[in-house]
Each structure stands twice: as C-alpha cells, then as structure tokens.
C-alpha cells in the first residue's frame, strides 16, 4: 500500500495492492510521508475501502478536515447500522456522517443547541434507524469524550435514512416531510387522531413512507388498476375524497401524477381505520 497524498498527520489517501483508492487512518501515519511512500502495515489502525470511487474522493476531502477519532467512530456507526438495518446503505454515508459528527462534536463543546425539528417524526417513522442512532451516541462518547444530547440521535438517523434512499442532499428530510404531509391530509380530512399503537395506522404510515420514497426517486408503479379504482371510488366515496386531496398535493408539491395503482393502495389502507 502506497501513499497517494497526505491529508493530515493521522490520515492519508492511499492506493492498495489492487490500485484502488483507500483512506488509511493511523496515529502519525502522515507525518513526514510523501506521495509514493510505502505504508508500514503496523501503523495502520483503520482502512476505508469504498465501492464507489466518487465517494472515496468525497471522503478524502472530508477526511482532510475531520479528526481521526471522528473518522474512526463514523466507521463504527456505519458498521453498526449495516448490521442492524435491512436496507443497504450507500457509501455516501461515510463522508456525510463524518462531516456531520465532526461539526456536532464541535457544537457540543461550544454549548450550541443540537435540537432537530424532525426529531418526533424520525422517532415515529424510522424507529430502527433512530434506535441505531441512539446507540451511536455512546460510540461517539467513547471515541471523543463528548456526551451528545439525546436529540442528536435524530440528526444521525437522518443521515442513515438518506443513505438508505440512495443519497442526495436533503432526501431524508424531504422523505420525512412528504410522509408527514400525506398523513396530515388524511388526519385533517377525517378529523381523526392517530394512535401509534394501532396496527392499521402503522401499516398505513409505512406504506406512505414507501410511496414517498418512490415519488422522490422518480419511480412509477402502474398495473392498470383503473377498473378497480372506479369500483372502490363508488364503494368508498368518503375515502376517495381524501385521496383526491393527496393527489393534488403530490402533483403540486412534487410534480408527480398519481397512478391508479397508487391511489388504490393508499385508499385500501385508509379504509381500514376511518
């Protein structure tokens, strides 16, 4: 393994034996190192190998300004998440999360509030990601000596959610907001109060989340359900009055024309608890 460029005294951008770009951590590993130097295997503490070369370059940019202990704990958090979450995480999570954690540690040390406006929604809609993020707080404390407030778990979870939906700035926040907007349309239309322990509501919220994910990703599902939709519209006019409102929201806010299949699925879920 040879040095490609020195990022700081503890981090180097390197090429492994297969000539793939990797980020290598080790105390003093970059001190007096020069491009082309061989790296002493005994000095290596952690290696980041990313499948996406563009993400490797992005991580290299972030690593130049992020403390080595933050990079190391980022890897621990991602490993934890990949072991417990069913969705595959994009390599984009490394750079984004490392950058975020570095800034978050700084803010705590400076007594700056870390509250997330989406904390309640993240905890409700993404309990698995939120649970991983909560456990990640302990890893950060062990690595940096900084005790994060519980509210920071929501911010960490948002990075995991973003990586699950394929990366892209703001996609986690957009997904959460989209989901909440649709749930609010139904709630306000029928004047109901959702019960978090109601299985029908939980299934509906999950379906809306996946619907939102598909819309934001530009994925369309259509199975020619026009006849079924027409039948349900006659049988459930009160439900389809709400579906029509959702259709307007999705069209105006996200430039998406709902298909008959999407309308049918949402209508069937709504009909189970109204």
As a whole number, mean pLDDT of residues 234-244 equals 94
Phi, psi of 219 (to 5 degrees): -95, 130
CATH architecture designation of domain 171-271:
Orthogonal Bundle (1.10)
CATH architecture designation of domain 1-49:
Roll (2.30)
pTM: 0.68
The CATH homologous superfamily to which domain 52-167 belongs is PRD domain (1.10.1790.10)
Comparing 136 with 89, which gets the higher pLDDT? Answer: 136
Which H or E element spans position 245? helix 237-254
The segment(s) of the chain belonging to CATH 1.10.1790.10 are 52-167, 171-271
Comparing 167 with 5, which gets the higher pLDDT? Answer: 5
Give the percent of the chain with pLDDT over 70.
95
Long-range contacts of residues 219-227, Cβ cutoff 8 Å, at least 24 apart = 220/259, 221/259, 221/261, 221/262, 222/259, 222/260, 222/261, 223/261, 224/260, 224/261, 225/259, 225/260, 225/261, 225/263, 225/264, 226/260
Whether residue 181 is predicted with pLDDT greater than 90 in this model: the reply is: yes
The segment(s) of the chain belonging to CATH 2.30.24.10 are 1-49
Task: Give per-residue pLDDT as tens, 68-110.
Answer: 899 999 999 999 999 999 888 888 889 889 999 999 998 899 8
């Amino acid at each position: 393994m040879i040095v490609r460029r020195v990022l700081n005294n503890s981090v180097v951008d390197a090429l492994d034996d297969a000539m793939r770009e990797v980020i290598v951590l080790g105390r003093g590993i970059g001190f007096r190192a020069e491009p082309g130097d061989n790296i002493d295997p005994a000095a290596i503490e952690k290696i980041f190998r990313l499948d996406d070369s563009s993400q490797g370059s992005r991580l290299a940019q972030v690593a130049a300004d992020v403390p080595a202990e933050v990079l190391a704990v980022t890897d621990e958090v991602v490993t934890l998440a990949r072991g417990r979450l069913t969705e595959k995480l994009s390599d984009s999570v490394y750079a984004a999360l490392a950058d975020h954690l570095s800034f978050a540690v700084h803010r705590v040390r400076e007594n700056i509030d870390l509250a997330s406006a989406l904390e309640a929604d993240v905890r409700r809609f993404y309990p698995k990601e939120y649970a991983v993020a909560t456990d990640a707080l302990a890893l950060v404390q062990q690595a940096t000596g900084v005790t994060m407030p519980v509210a920071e778990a929501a911010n960490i979870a948002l990075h995991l959610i973003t990586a699950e939906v394929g990366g892209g700035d703001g996609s986690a926040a957009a997904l959460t907001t989209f989901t909440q907007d649709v749930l609010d349309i139904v709630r306000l239309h029928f004047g109901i109060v959702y019960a978090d322990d109601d299985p029908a509501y939980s299934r509906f919220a999950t379906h809306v989340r996946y619907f939102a994910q598909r819309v934001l990703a530009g994925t369309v599902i259509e199975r020619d359900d026009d006849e079924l939709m027409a039948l349900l519209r006659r049988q459930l006019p009160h439900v389809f009055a709400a579906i029509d409102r959702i259709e307007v929201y999705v069209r105006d806010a996200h430039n998406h024309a709902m298909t008959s299949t999407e309308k049918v699925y949402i209508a069937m879920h709504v009909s189970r608890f109204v």
